[in-house]
Amino acid sequence: MQDAAFKKICGLLQSDDPMRRTAAAIVLGELAPDDAAVVRALGEALPGANQLLTTAILDALEAIGHRDALPHLVPLLDAEDVAVKLRASAAITRAGGAALPLIRPLLADAGASKKLVLVDLLARIPTVDALRSLLSLLPDADADLTVEIAEAVHRHARAMTPAQRTPLHKLVVQFMDGAPVRASERLQGAGLRLLGALACPEARTVLLRWAGAADSPRLRLQALRGMQNLAWTSATAKPVAPKMLQFMGDTDPEVAQQALRVLTVLPADVLTTAQWRALLDYAFTPARGLALARLAADTSPAGGRVLLALLQHADEHVRETAAGALARQPQVAGAVLEALLDKADIEQAWRLAKILKPHAATLPSRDQKRLKERAARGLAAKEPTIDALLYLLRQADAPAADAVIREAAFAAVRAKRWGDAVAGLRRVMNSPGFDDECRYALSLCNLKQSPKELAPHLRAEDYALRGFQGLLRSPDFNLAARLVKEPAVEAEDLYFVGFHFSDLTGDERAFGEGLLRHVIKTWPRTPAGKAAKIKLGVANGVEPTAKSRPASPPPSAPRGRSPAKTKPRS
């Protein structure tokens, strides 16, 4: 019954309807019966077939892979359509070694373009006879055909199994040992190309031997190129890697380049960390790039130490790459922190702090404590690296960083180092820890540093007055009581604050006038006390009424001198 079905489908290949013929070819390709009658019917349908039908028939013949299809397929190697040639070649390949008797006679009379098609076809057939046919072409082949033979073998060797490659490799070795080939550098080079194309593990020894042949630069290069196609393990690459390091010091830059490419395909662990580090000192720029990439990927403790040392390298690219690699390796965070705590160079300290940023939150508590103590000492000593230390501490524990800065700032306030205190308090101005006490301390320090100019436009820009104005709005902070009891505040300070706020309205005016009264009462004979009396219009200890109070402030007095007396305006 099955034969009858196939017979009926084959009958459709002769139908007058092109669609029926194409559909029949597609069905036969899907079923792929190993039947000589079916193959013959498909082959007989090829003459006069349109492009769609030809494609379907060739697909079916390739799927079946029967040797009886060869007489119908080989003529298509001369087809003008390149796609037809390629499909016919693929279908012929399915017949395996049975195709060789039909193909060999074509090689002798084939033109250049057809010979390329035949070379590709032979390279598809993983048999010793097929490769022997290719080797027979090499003695008379030009450079282009020699390269094409090697590339065709390389192209199709990927689909071969190790069992198929091994006999082909042995055949090439025998070919290279022949007397005519030994006498020809060109043929020896072709043999090395083929060994590299087949990429058998057994090729390592032969290729490495030729790579060291200093008397033949062309063959050395061919051997090195072939080694790049091989599959390497750590065990097989161990004896090869040191040789490649030697070759990279070769006077021929092309040899160095090919040796570097071999190193690129070798496992990273074939060289020690010290060897990769030494490679950074080579004058050959690509070698330094490979060494840097390998070192950056090394996550061992030794690799981390080398990367830390590379942060001091003269090449900026090396320094940046090392920093980026360290930032991706949390296991070296402890060593990086040790380096940071001992650094006195600002640039290096910032680099280390940024490396540690991704790991700051996961630093052990003991390391965070050390960082906090180190930041506190740095603030006290005004070390140049303090900004980097505080940056990292803030990444690890922001409240702890704010506490360190506040403590140092308030210590500066107590020591009357007003500038240091202002610099510290401004570091925490935008943090949640900046409360009324910080605002008061900052305003007090600004007051002690203020030029105390009485002109309205200058007072409007005074940081101390602006800070006190904000504190007046805080219901829980008694600014007047704090200022009059502040040991560091002097008569001139209170007079300046009182003068400013007495020009305002409401609670702010009452606050300012209260400060002026305190100045009059506490320092009555000082220039500030006398100026306060003038500002309030006090005469003989009696304040004028609001109606007779001066409408505008008197001219500002120089610091340390009493302002000129003016009569209150009636």
Listed in sequence order, the DSSP H helices in 473-566 are: 479-485, 491-502, 506-522, 527-536
Instruction: Tell me which H or E stretch contains 355.
Output: helix 346-356
Model pTM score: 0.62
Residue-wise pLDDT for 67-87, tens only, equals 778 888 888 887 878 888 888
The 3-class secondary structure across 62-100, one letter per residue, is HHHCCHHHHHHHHHHHHCCCHHHHHHHHHHHHCCHHHHH
**Residue 556 pLDDT:** 42
Q: Residue 483 in contact with residue 515, Cβ under 8 Å?
A: yes
Find the mean pLDDT for residues 104-109.
81
Q: Is the pLDDT of residue 109 over 80?
A: no
Average pLDDT, the chain: 86
Q: Residue 93 in contact with residue 121, Cβ under 8 Å?
A: yes
Q: Is the pLDDT of residue 21 over 90?
A: no
Find the mean pLDDT for residues 149-176.
92
Q: Is the pLDDT of residue 522 over 50?
A: yes
Binned at pLDDT 50, 70 and 90, residue 555 comes out as very low
170's CB contacts (< 8 A; 6+ apart) are: none
d(CA 85, CA 54): 11
Find the mean pLDDT for residues 185-194.
92
Residue-wise pLDDT for 207-229, tens only, equals 999 998 878 889 999 999 999 99
Residue-wise pLDDT for 400-409, tens only, equals 999 999 999 9
Q: Which range, 113-127, 226-240, 273-287, 302-316, has the best average confidence (pLDDT)? A: 226-240
**Residue 538 pLDDT:** 64
Q: Is the pLDDT of residue 494 over 60?
A: yes
Domain locations along the chain: 232-328, 441-536
% helix, strand, coil for the chain, step of 5: 70, 0, 30
d(CA 503, CA 177): 110
